[in-house]
Chain A
Amino acid sequence: MKINIYDEVGKRKRLFFSDSGVKLRERIVKKIYAEKAHDLVILNFADIEVVDVSFAREGFVKLISMLSTDEPHPQLLFLNVNDYVKQNLDLSMKEHKKKNWELIGKYSEQIRETVCALIKLKETTAKRLSKKLNIELTTCNNRLMSLYEMCVITRMQTGQKSGGIEFIYKLVI
């Protein structure tokens, strides 16, 4: 599912003020619920020139907080984010390093390492990932849970041969 922010805000290029951020968040949430989007939601920032801190907080930081409590919930991918938009988004989510993708917000080096592995694997189980990272399965499960709660990854429930429940985690870039 792809949401064009520019269209959602009435073709405004500059996004200012918290109340406008609240309105956008409500529209996005409505769309996600209406389409039962549990996989990947792309927030397309094409044509958006600048976003202030208040708008970013209400529109996007709180969007993540809201969605993270839903079960299941989608992965959010911010696309076409220009430098000026990124400045204030970063500030709202606590910024970090540059690459062709970035994690923004508050996270540990272990979480970053897990994301890197997930990008390579595209989709995985906790067991497979724990082997790849050479960490305990419980530690791996904790990291995946954190990423899932932050709307960075999605998960799909499957059955194990033994009868137990297993999740397949997915990260699309």
Chain B
Amino acid sequence: MITIKVPNKLTEIQFEQLLKDVNLSLTAGHHTIRFDFTGTEFISSFGMIEFVLLCEYLIEKENKRITLYLSNTAKLEPCMYVLARLGMFECLPDQVSFYPLKPKPKQSSRGKNDAILEVTKITDSEQAQDLFDRVEKAIKSNTTYNQGQVYDICTMVSEMVQNIFDHSESKTGGIIAIQNYRKIHKMQLVIADSGIGIPETLRNSKEYKNHNLSDIQAISESLKKGVSRHGKGAQRGEGLARCVELANKHGAQLYIRSNRGWVKIIFSQSRGRAGQGCLLPGTQIFVNFPSK
């Protein structure tokens, strides 16, 4: 067994390091991975969803046993109950074990806070349709956006969720969450899946199979209008391009991670970054909107 310390703060930045540590443990051939959360105080919505997908990947594809070590004593830290209320533990695979115990939120609290959308699995588009009321409430609670801007964000959500069912080939659907961070005036929307990822989707298409696109290049390409696995003449590939337009319109920050690559665009500062990390199959996207 190997123990991997989860950082004090887990956002997209620290998650890359966590993935590296996990990758090293895979190389070393450990059968059980214990994630030590004893020093962890903050996990962003994106961090939570990435962690859930990482556990799914380790159990299903790498045949690992996963234990979450949550406290040195028999009592859980308050932070763990916050994560429980935000739905993180409920979305973890059943095979994950906990020490000292699995934190459980009060059942009555789920879905009752209009300002958030807890980490929620999306299994089909019918169920996703029903989520839009909650998406809308969360946006209205956290921002000063007018109805038109709310529709813009709902459009982004629908396009990203649509991509999960159309392109990801994920057997388990996707995950969505919305959380507001008052101190930094940001509302984070996360939509993710553990499918084949954007790079594989494009590489499998006729148009791109000979292009030798890197993961970063494939992600960047997918943000352009008309780019899809169906080819440029197919009148497809508008969804993600529309999300980029709308993120730009609202001065948001867009982060897309797919397989090994990631691309981050900060529209309010007209700048972007990209990088390469370890493999986590699928596509995980967050959009940070300025909040009140």
* B-binding residues in A (CB < 8 A): 12, 14, 16-20, 49-50, 52-55, 57, 61, 83-84, 88, 91-92
Most chain-B Cβ atoms within 10 A of its Cβ — which of A50, A52, A61?
A: A52
- Give the Cβ gap from B212 to chain A, nearest Cβ, in Å: 29
Partner of B155, one of A20, A53, A57: A53
Contact B148 A54 (CB under 8 A): no
Most chain-B Cβ atoms within 10 A of its Cβ — which of A17, A84, A92?
A: A17
**Does B94 have its Cβ within 8 Å of any Cβ on chain A?**
no
Contact A50 B151 (CB under 8 A): yes
Contact B132 A14 (CB under 8 A): yes
Which residues of the other chain, A, contact B235 by a CB distance below 8 angstroms?
57, 61
**Does B238 have its Cβ within 8 Å of any Cβ on chain A?**
yes
- Give the Cβ gap from B223 to chain A, nearest Cβ, in Å: 14
**Does B77 have its Cβ within 8 Å of any Cβ on chain A?**
no
Please tell me the number of chain B residues within 8 Å of chain A, measured between CB atoms. Answer: 19
* A-binding residues in B (CB < 8 A): 125, 128-129, 132, 148, 151, 154-155, 158-159, 161-162, 165-166, 235-236, 238-239, 242
Which residues of the other chain, B, contact A54 by a CB distance below 8 angstroms?
158-159, 162, 166, 238-239
Which residues of the other chain, B, contact A53 by a CB distance below 8 angstroms?
155, 159, 238-239, 242
Which residues of the other chain, A, contact B129 by a CB distance below 8 angstroms?
12, 16-17, 20
Given the complex of chains A and B, what is the CA–CA distance between A77 and B63 in angstroms? Answer: 57
Contact B155 A52 (CB under 8 A): yes
| Chain B residue with the shortest CB-CB distance to A14 | B132
Q: List 24 A-B contacts (CB under 8 A).
A: A16-B129, A16-B154, A16-B155, A17-B128, A17-B129, A17-B158, A19-B125, A20-B125, A20-B129, A49-B151, A50-B154, A52-B154, A52-B159, A53-B242, A54-B162, A54-B166, A54-B239, A55-B158, A57-B236, A57-B238, A61-B235, A84-B148, A84-B151, A88-B242
- Give the Cβ gap from B14 to chain A, nearest Cβ, in Å: 34
Partner of B158, one of A12, A16, A61, A92: A16
Given the complex of chains A and B, what is the CA–CA distance between A55 and B125 in angstroms? Answer: 12
Instruction: State the main secondary structure of chain A at its contact with B.
Output: helix
Given the complex of chains A and B, what is the CA–CA distance between A83 and B149 in angstroms? Answer: 12
Which residues of the other chain, A, contact B125 by a CB distance below 8 angstroms?
17, 19-20
Which residues of the other chain, A, contact B159 by a CB distance below 8 angstroms?
52-54
Which residues of the other chain, A, contact B148 by a CB distance below 8 angstroms?
83-84
Given the complex of chains A and B, what is the CA–CA distance between A70 and B148 in angstroms? Answer: 37
- Give the Cβ gap from B244 to chain A, nearest Cβ, in Å: 12
Given the complex of chains A and B, what is the CA–CA distance between A122 and B236 in angstroms? Answer: 35
- Give the Cβ gap from A18 to chain B, nearest Cβ, in Å: 6
- Give the Cβ gap from B66 to chain A, nearest Cβ, in Å: 33
Contact A52 B132 (CB under 8 A): no
| Chain B residue with the shortest CB-CB distance to A49 | B151
Which residues of the other chain, B, contact A84 by a CB distance below 8 angstroms?
148, 151
- Give the Cβ gap from A6 to chain B, nearest Cβ, in Å: 15
Which residues of the other chain, B, contact A19 by a CB distance below 8 angstroms?
125, 165
Given the complex of chains A and B, what is the CA–CA distance between A10 and B127 in angstroms? Answer: 15
Q: A52-B158, A53-B159 are in contact. Are A18 and B242 (CB under 8 A)?
A: no
Given the complex of chains A and B, what is the CA–CA distance between A57 and B101 in angstroms? Answer: 49
Partner of B238, one of A12, A83, A92: A92
Which residues of the other chain, B, contact A14 by a CB distance below 8 angstroms?
132, 151, 154
Most chain-B Cβ atoms within 10 A of its Cβ — which of A20, A54, A84, A91?
A: A54
- Give the Cβ gap from B73 to chain A, nearest Cβ, in Å: 47
- Give the Cβ gap from B123 to chain A, nearest Cβ, in Å: 14
Given the complex of chains A and B, what is the CA–CA distance between A17 and B166 in angstroms? Answer: 10
Which residues of the other chain, A, contact B128 by a CB distance below 8 angstroms?
16-17
- Give the Cβ gap from A13 to chain B, nearest Cβ, in Å: 10
Which residues of the other chain, B, contact A83 by a CB distance below 8 angstroms?
148
Most chain-B Cβ atoms within 10 A of its Cβ — which of A19, A61, A92?
A: A19
Given the complex of chains A and B, what is the CA–CA distance between A139 and B166 in angstroms? Answer: 42
